[in-house]
Amino acid sequence: MKLLTVQKCISCEAEYPSDEVLYTCKFCGSLIEVILTNLEELDGRDLSLKWRGRDRTMWRYSEVIPVEGNVVTLKEGGTPLYEAEKAALWAGVRKLYLKFEGMNPTGSFKDRGMSVGVSKAVALRKKVVVCASTGNTASSMAAYAAAAGLKSVVVVPKYDVAAGKLFQTVLHGAKTIQVVEGFDKALTMILSSTLGSESYILNSVNPWRIEGQKTLAYELWDDLRDSNYFVSIPVGNCGNISALWKGFKELQTLGIIRDLPRLIAVQAEGASPFVDMVNRGDEKLIPVEKPMTIASAIRIGRPVNWRKALRALKESEGLAEKVSDGLILEAQRVLASEVGVGVEPASAASLAGVKKLVDKGLLDKSSTVVCIATGHALKDPNIEIISKYLSPEIPIEEVLKSL
């Protein structure tokens, strides 16, 4: 059965055809989402049986991914889920899993979205893909554009973009513009420029990217066959948490799951406009003008997808927490040296958030939590950590004795 889709405004519900290129509603200016209009007619039980026998990439779920024509893929998705006892012990919960999105082709979850987004760009006959980024979106888009034979242009903050991400971006051939003011300015620049009909924006305002990223939920269901857990996820521009929730809601519509997991949104203390809004209990996002955190991937003061994310958090009866850079680095160390999984600082925020919520008594110790480890440690080599732990040239016997 052919999947039918429509683009719909998240606020005034105006509808647009799927082949119309738009990022915001023409009437009210809100963001757009893709609705699968005949999802209810699909047989969830039949689908789940079909999916089980297929390769472990996100395209295992192709029946619910709205791409027409050729798919641009680097075999993204199918990332490992680890049970991490040491991390559970550190955070203080009964069971903790780590979904390691750093194992995607370019080392972050962005690849799921880019596979769909760049496929859509090709279907629309675009020649150039464009984005603003703190690094991971840029490197992912550059790789998928290269795979599709498209040109790519990215705008990134001039300071503190992680070296690995910048290297990937230029290596894959993206023209790279740096702006002094940081990510929020870079995104404003992209959204307010006249880009011409050949260019296509692939930030998370693009609703088709979210369609790729929602497969994270399908995979968690596949991994755990249960929905009685929390999912802790680092939040920057609020795109991924919105995508995750969309996936879970679709699984419910398909009759594959009955209950929905609960979300935990985590931001860094110096860049926490979303978490602060949730915990104030209002619906007014107060932007952070100069966001600061060591987790450069989520150094964002004006998250564009906040309305979608707020809806998700409310529907899931979720929690929101902000964490210090110190706690982020401690969580990163625990994952690396006690679990064996190397993640970048933004990704470690998901685990740090769980510990803080347990310590504050807001998350029950008997909980099962899945932490989304959004990006690989190699993305963001930390020179200070490297030099702190290096030993001078001393005999190996001495080092062994000191262990």
Q: Which residues bind ligand F0G (CB under 6 A)?
A: 108, 133-137, 204, 234-240, 297-298, 344, 346-347, 374-375
What is the Cα–Cα distance from 351 to 110, expressed in whole angstroms?
Answer: 20
Measured torsion, CA atoms of residues 193, 197, 198, 201, in degrees rounded to the nearest 10: 50
Residue 178 backbone phi and psi in degrees, to 5? -110, 135
Q: In this complex, which beta carbon is closest to ligand F0G, that of residue 254 or of residue 341?
A: 341
What is the Cα–Cα distance from 5 to 367, expressed in whole angstroms?
Answer: 37
What is the Cα–Cα distance from 87 to 163, expressed in whole angstroms?
Answer: 27
Residue 259 backbone phi and psi in degrees, to 5? -100, 155
**Residue with tokens 């987004």, as numbered in its chain:** 117
Q: How many residues does the chain have?
A: 403
Listed in sequence order, the residues at least 6 apart from 117 whose beta carbon sits closer than 8 Å to its beta carbon are 129, 141, 144, 200, 202, 206, 208, 209, 212
Q: Give min distance, CB of 109 to ligand F0G, in A.
A: 7
Q: In this complex, which beta carbon is closest to ligand F0G, that of residue 148 or of residue 238?
A: 238
The b-or-e profile of 81-100 (16+ CB within 10 A means b, else e) is ebebeebbebbebeebbbbb
Q: Give min distance, CB of 309 to ligand F0G, in A.
A: 8
The b-or-e profile of 303-315 (16+ CB within 10 A means b, else e) is bbbbbbbbebbee
Give the residue among 251, 219, 193 at the shortest CA–CA distance from 99.
219
Listed in sequence order, the residues at least 6 apart from 213 whose beta carbon sits closer than 8 Å to its beta carbon are 109, 110, 112, 113, 204, 239, 240, 243, 244
Q: In this complex, which beta carbon is closest to ligand F0G, that of residue 119 or of residue 206?
A: 206
Q: Give min distance, CB of 38 to ligand F0G, in A.
A: 28
Q: Give min distance, CB of 177 to ligand F0G, in A.
A: 14
Is 4 in contact with 15 (CB distance < 8 Å)? Answer: no
Q: In this complex, which beta carbon is closest to ligand F0G, that of residue 254 or of residue 271?
A: 271
Q: Give min distance, CB of 31 to ligand F0G, in A.
A: 13
What is the Cα–Cα distance from 133 to 145, expressed in whole angstroms?
Answer: 15
What is the Cα–Cα distance from 100 to 111, expressed in whole angstroms?
Answer: 13
Q: In this complex, which beta carbon is closest to ligand F0G, that of residue 48 or of residue 136?
A: 136
What is the Cα–Cα distance from 81 to 98, expressed in whole angstroms?
Answer: 6
Q: In this complex, which beta carbon is closest to ligand F0G, that of residue 206 or of residue 240?
A: 240
Angle value at C-alpha 119, between 118 and 125, nearest 5 degrees: 90
Q: In this complex, which beta carbon is closest to ligand F0G, that of residue 137 or of residue 227?
A: 137
Q: In this complex, which beta carbon is closest to ligand F0G, that of residue 57 or of residue 240?
A: 240
Q: In this complex, which beta carbon is closest to ligand F0G, that of residue 119 or of residue 332?
A: 332
Q: Give min distance, CB of 67 to ligand F0G, in A.
A: 20
Q: In this complex, which beta carbon is closest to ligand F0G, that of residue 48 or of residue 240?
A: 240
Q: Give min distance, CB of 266 to ligand F0G, in A.
A: 9
Q: Give min distance, CB of 378 to ligand F0G, in A.
A: 12
Q: Give min distance, CB of 221 to ligand F0G, in A.
A: 20
Q: Give min distance, CB of 110 to ligand F0G, in A.
A: 6
- Whole-angstrom CA distances from 290 to 220, 275, 336 are 35, 16, 30
